[in-house]
């Protein structure tokens, strides 16, 4: 039995159940094989207030310090993250939080064999720092913007290169990410390509009329755009295109910082009545949405391996 410690800020919680759900899904299927035991350390940014006026920061504050999800023990230590200016210091702050949580697990009798880190920066970099202190090998999974975008900044790029050298192995969700890591100086022989999977028990077609009824859809051509409401997901492009499709309706599934701007855009283009903001919805309801619409639109500018497309 191999004992692992999964380390990532991309992991769901009772407060943010859809956050990093793909990391949890991969872990659940790994554990189903019966050869691996794990604990999860999923740090969240420290914030002192839970009032709704503070938006996403308040949700961080509401995340419990400890919880159990799908039979897996999850620790949520806090780390200091300064908005806008904290990128360079994030790995060290994450490492401090993660090291404390890891030491507590070891003291309680869970001495793991390796650290399974997800997202190269800052998580993977922090994991290699923890690994050095505890003398544990580290495996880092690269997932997209951590390699395609963040290395454009000099200091993070240097730290990513060092983490690639220090870790025992790397996983990428597509061949292009492997090539990008090699381009940064990573060793190809240390990298395995393991593409994202999809839960076929969960994502299966439903009866279309019933699915449409579940969302109160009319007979108009229905489009769906799914993902966090952030600029790189391209929802604004879909709304702009909708203005040229007077007979279509758009269903946006996801929550995020761009919602107000997207609503304003829809209003300005005169399509607000045909844009339906569904918010973040659970995967079972997402399956119903996929079954209901006539077309899924994926307008992201960058994706490591689009989970939405697989679903």
> pLDDT, tens digit, for every residue of 86-104?
778 899 999 999 999 999 9
pTM: 0.80
User: Which is more confidently placed, 208 or 49?
Assistant: 208
- 264/167 same-domain check: no
Residue 84 has pLDDT above 70, yes or no: no
Domain count for the chain: 2
The residues pairing with 39 across neighbouring beta strands, listed in sequence order, are 5
- 83/214 same-domain check: no
Cβ atoms of 259 and 230 within 8 Å: the answer is no
The SS3 of residue 83 is coil
- 52/173 same-domain check: yes
| Residue 200: pLDDT band with limits 50, 70, 90 | confident
Residue 132 belongs to some domain of the structure: yes
- 110/165 same-domain check: yes
Structural domain including 182 reads: 2-193
Which residue, 193, 220, 240, sits at the end of a domain? 193
Cβ atoms of 44 and 9 within 8 Å: the answer is yes
Between strands 72-75 and 138-142, the pairing is unpaired
CA dist., res. 184 & res. 186, Å (int)? 6
- 25/74 same-domain check: yes
CA dist., res. 220 & res. 25, Å (int)? 34
Which tens digits make up the pLDDT trace of 140-189? 999 988 998 899 999 999 999 999 999 999 999 999 999 999 999 999 99
Torsion of CA 300, 301, 304, 307, to 10 degrees: 0
Mean pLDDT rounded to a whole number for the chain: 92
From 46-55, 173-182, 187-196, the region with the lowest mean pLDDT? 46-55
Q: Supply 287's token pair.
A: 């399956």
């Amino acid at each position: 039995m191999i004992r692992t410690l999964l380390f990532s800020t991309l992991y769901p919680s009772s407060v943010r159940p859809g956050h990093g759900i793909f990391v949890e899904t991969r872990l659940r299927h790994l554990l189903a094989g019966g050869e691996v035991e794990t604990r999860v350390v999923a740090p969240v940014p420290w914030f002192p207030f839970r009032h709704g006026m503070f938006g996403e920061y308040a949700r961080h504050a509401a995340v419990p310090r400890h919880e159990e999800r799908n039979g897996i023990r999850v620790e949520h230590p806090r780390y200091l993250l300064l908005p806008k200016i904290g990128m360079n210091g994030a790995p060290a702050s994450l490492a401090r939080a993660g090291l404390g949580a890891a030491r507590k697990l070891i003291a309680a009798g869970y001495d793991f064999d390796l650290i399974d880190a997800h997202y190269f920066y800052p998580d993977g970099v922090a994991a290699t720092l923890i690994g050095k202190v505890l003398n544990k090998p580290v495996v880092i999974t690269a997932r997209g913007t951590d390699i395609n975008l963040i290395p454009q900044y000099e200091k993070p790029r240097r730290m990513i290169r060092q983490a690639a050298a220090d870790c025992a192995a790397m996983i990428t969700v597509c061949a292009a990410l492997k090539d990008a890591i090699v381009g940064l100086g990573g060793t190809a022989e240390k990298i395995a390509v393991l593409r994202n999977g999809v839960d076929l028990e969960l994502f299966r077609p439903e009866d279309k009329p019933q699915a449409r009824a579940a969302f109160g859809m009319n007979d108009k051509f229905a489009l769906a755009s799914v993902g966090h409401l952030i600029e790189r997901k391209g929802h604004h492009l879909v709304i702009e295109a909708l203005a040229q499709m007077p007979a279509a309706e758009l269903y946006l599934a996801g929550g995020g910082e761009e919602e107000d701007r997207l609503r304003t855009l829809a209003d300005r283009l005169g399509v607000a009545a045909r844009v339906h903001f569904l918010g973040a919805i659970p995967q079972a309801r997402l399956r119903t949405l996929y079954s209901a619409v006539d077309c899924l639109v994926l307008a992201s500018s960058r994706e490591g391996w689009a989970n939405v497309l697989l679903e």
